[in-house]
Amino acid sequence: MLSLEWLGDLNRRFGELTRVRPKRFVIGPGKLEIGLRPLIMGVINLSPQSWYRESVCLNQTGAVKRGLTLAAQGAQLIDLGGESTLDFADRISVATQIRELVPVVKRLVQEDLALSVECYSDQVAHAALDAGASIINMTGIQHSQAIYRLAAAHDAAVIVSYLQGPNVRSVADLTFKGNPIDAFQNYFREQVAVAGEVSLNKLILDPGLGYYYRNLEDSGERVRYQMECLLQSFRLKVDGFPVCNALPHAFEFFQEDVRSAEPFFAVLAALGKTDLFRTHEVAKIRAVLDTLECFRSQPGTKDE
Q: What is the mean pLDDT of residues 221-241?
A: 93
Pick the CATH number of 4-294 from 1.10.3450.40, 2.40.110.10, 3.30.70.260, 3.20.20.20: 3.20.20.20
Least confident of 51-60, 93-102, 151-160, 245-254: 51-60
pLDDT (0 to 100) of residue 52? 76
Residue 255 confidence (pLDDT): 85
- Choice among 2-11, 54-63, 182-191 with the minimum mean pLDDT: 54-63
User: Is pLDDT of 243 > 80?
Assistant: yes
Residue 302 pLDDT: 55
State yes or no: pLDDT of 298 exceeds 70.
Answer: no
Output the pLDDT for position 66.
95
Q: Is the pLDDT of residue 59 over 80?
A: yes
Average pLDDT over residues 41-51: 85
Domain-by-domain residue ranges, the chain? 4-294
pLDDT value at residue 263: 96
pLDDT in tens, 206-219: 999 988 777 766 57
230: pLDDT strictly greater than 90: yes
Average pLDDT of the chain, as a whole number? 91
Give the pLDDT of residue 300: 57
Given this model, what pLDDT does residue 301 score? 54
Reply yes or no on whether the pLDDT at 241 is more than 90. yes
Band of residue 42 on the pLDDT scale cut at 50, 70, 90: very high
CA distances (Å), origin 269, targets 11, 183, 272, 284: 15, 19, 5, 14
The pLDDT, as a whole number, for residue 299 is 61
pLDDT digit string, tens, across residues 6-39: 999 999 999 999 998 999 999 998 899 999 999 9
Per-residue pLDDT tens over the stretch 79-135: 999 888 776 678 889 999 999 999 999 999 999 999 999 999 999 999 999 999 999
